[in-house]
Amino acid sequence: MARLNLGVLVSGGGSNLQSILDKSASGALDADVRLVLSNKPNAYGLERARLAGVPTACLEHASCPSREEYDREMVRLLEEHAVDTVAMAGFMRMVTPVFLDAFHSRVLNIHPSLLPSFPGVRGQGDAAAYGVRLSGCTVHFVDEHMDNGPIIIQAAVPAMADDDTKTLGSRILEMEHRVYPQALQWLAEERLTIQGRQVVVQEARPAASPAGTTVTGALVNPGLENGF
C-alpha cells in the first residue's frame, strides 16, 4: 500500500474535497492532496484548499483553444505537483483521452444518482421529478463518456414524495462524503481490479446499512469499513 498523491478537480463548493481532506487528516485515508484545480476562479473549493494549506490552481475555459489543449494543460499542472491519482469532485467538465491516458485507471468521479440512472448535472432533481423511491450516489472510474465508467461503490437513500433537488440532494450528499474517501482508500490499498464493466473490491464487506448516519434506510454496497 502506498499513499495516493491526489489532485482534486472542483467547480463549486467543494464539500467532497473537504471530506477527502478531513479523512486524510484523520488518518483514515492514505492520501495527500497535492493540488486542487478548478475551472472557475470563484469556486469555494479553492478556498477550502487554501485553508488546509493545499496548493491551488485555476484554469479557465477560455485559456485554451480546444478541449484537448485544456486537458494537456491540466495534466501539466497536476504532474508539476507529482499527482498520481485524480478525484473529480463536482468538476463540471468532461475530460478527453488526453487526460485519461495520462492517469490511466487513476481518475475517479462521484455522481449524485444511482448510475446508470439520471446521469448529467441535474441528477438529484431529475430523480426527484421522476418520483423514484430510492436514489443515491455512485463512485466510478472515469472514461471518455459522461458518468459512464465502471462502478466502485454505490449508496442508496430513500426518496420521499415531497422531495426536490435540495432535500433529496442533502440526503445524498451525506453519503457522498463517506463513500468517496472509502473508494479512494481501496485504491490506495490496491484492492480495486477492473474487469470489463465490473470493479472487484478484494475482501469487500457485504452491503450494509452504514453506522453513524442520520439517513434512515441508507444502504451501501460494498459495505463501508472502519473510519468511513
Check whether residue 119 and residue 224 sit in a common domain.
yes
Q: Are residues 28 and 65 in the same domain?
A: yes
Question: What cell was used for 158?
Answer: 430513500
Within a domain: 68: yes
Distance of CA 67 to the CA centre of its chain: 21
Q: Tens digit of pLDDT for each residue in 75-113?
A: 999 999 999 999 999 999 999 999 999 999 999 999 999
Between CA 141 and CA 109 the distance in angstroms is 6
Task: Say whether pTM exceeds 0.85.
Answer: yes
What are the pLDDT digits (tens) for 187-227? 999 999 999 999 999 999 999 999 888 899 999 999 999 99
Do 79 and 129 belong to one domain? Answer: no
**Claim to verify: residue 97 and residue 198 sit in the same structural domain:** no
Whether residues 95 and 121 fall in one domain: no
- Whether 62 has a pLDDT exceeding 90, the answer reads no
Candidates 81, 104, 111, 177; catalytic one: 111
- Element (DSSP H or E) covering residue 25: helix 15-26
Q: Which triple of cell numbers denotes residue 214?
A: 442520520
The answer to whether residue 33 sits within a structural domain is yes
**Rounded to 10 degrees, what is the CA torsion of 201, 205, 211, 216?**
80
Number of compact structural domains in the chain: 2
What share of residues in the chain are helix, strand, coil (percent, to 5)?
35, 25, 45
CATH number of domain containing 4: 3.40.50.170
- Distance CA(163)–CA(227), nearest Å, equals 30
Strand stretches in the chain, DSSP E:
4-10, 31-38, 56-58, 85-88, 107-111, 134-141, 151-158, 192-195, 198-201, 219-221
Supply the range of the domain harboring residue 10. 1-104
Calculate ∠ Cα 93-185-156, nearest 5°.
70
Question: pLDDT per residue over 142-188, tens digit each?
Answer: 999 999 999 999 999 999 999 999 999 999 999 999 999 999 999 99
Integer Cα distance of 146 and 167 in angstroms: 25
- pLDDT at position 63: 87
> Is position 111 annotated as part of the catalytic site?
yes
Identify whether residues 18 and 91 lie together within a single domain.
Answer: yes
Share of the chain above pLDDT 70, in %: 100
In a domain, 144, yes or no: no
